[in-house]
Structure 1
Amino acid sequence: MDFYKDLATEYDIPELKKFKKTLDNWKLYILNYYDYPISNRTTEGNNHKIKNIKRRSYGYRNRDNWEIRVKHEFKCA
């Protein structure tokens, strides 16, 4: 990680400076993931799936039909 920070410092590019600052701010959390690989990816995936259904549900006439579609997608009739 320090390699990328040094590289960002070497070049005078504003985006790289911003990237370096982001790495400095989040370094502890980024490295912590490798010690404890816990993620909320399942929840985020489910939220994404529901949002996609919501985008496609423009033609549904009521909320009940939308809820049925969500339940069908998650196979929990």
Structure 2
Amino acid sequence: GNPAIELAYEFKERLCGLLNKKSQTAKQCRDNIRKLKEMMKIMKYEAPTEFGKLAETISEWFAPIIRMWRFTKNNGITEGFHRKMKLIQRRAYGYRNFENYRLRVLVECGVNL
């Protein structure tokens, strides 16, 4: 294959592996920061132009990326409640009384009334 494409692919895989890490210790985060800064330097000065643009984007999101490594959170619970609410609306063809809809959502989401 094309050596430039192979190099870009390997670099992309290393970057994805680094960005997908979660629940890291403080020491692991420091190591990740060092590795990410090294990769960004390569992206800006040695890699094709597209990687330079990616480095700029990562620079803008640097602090949130670090927080993600240390404190992994997601909105899965919220998405689950949202799905239940849509299901209630679909089953009822739309409640006319908002209070009835609200009570049904609370019951479905496990709130004791």
Q: Distance in 2 between matches of 1:55 and 1:22?
A: 37
Q: Which has the higher contact order (CA 8 A, sep 6+)?
A: 2
TM-score by length of 2: 0.43
Structure 2: gaps of 5 or more residues = 1-35
CA contact (8 A) 2:95 2:101 kept: yes
Report the counterpart of residue 65 of structure 2 in structure 1.
Answer: 30
Q: Distance in 2 between matches of 1:23 and 1:72?
A: 42
Report the counterpart of residue 48 of structure 1 in structure 2.
Answer: 79
Residue 31 of structure 1 and its aligned partner are, at CA, apart by 2.0
TM-score by length of 1: 0.55
Q: Distance in 2 between matches of 1:18 and 1:55?
A: 41
Q: Distance in 2 between matches of 1:49 and 1:65?
A: 20
Counting matched residue pairs gives: 70
Structure 1: gaps of 5 or more residues = none
Higher Cα Rg, which structure: 2
Q: Does 1:11 align with 2:62?
A: no
Identity value in percent:
21
Q: Does 1:61 align with 2:96?
A: yes
CA contact (8 A) 1:8 1:20 kept: yes
Residue 7 of structure 1 and its aligned partner are, at CA, apart by 3.9
Residue 29 of structure 1 and its aligned partner are, at CA, apart by 3.2
Residue 69 of structure 1 and its aligned partner are, at CA, apart by 2.4
Residue 20 of structure 1 and its aligned partner are, at CA, apart by 1.6
Change beyond 3 A, Cα 1:50–1:18: farther
User: What is the aligned-residue RMSD (CA, Å)?
Assistant: 3.0
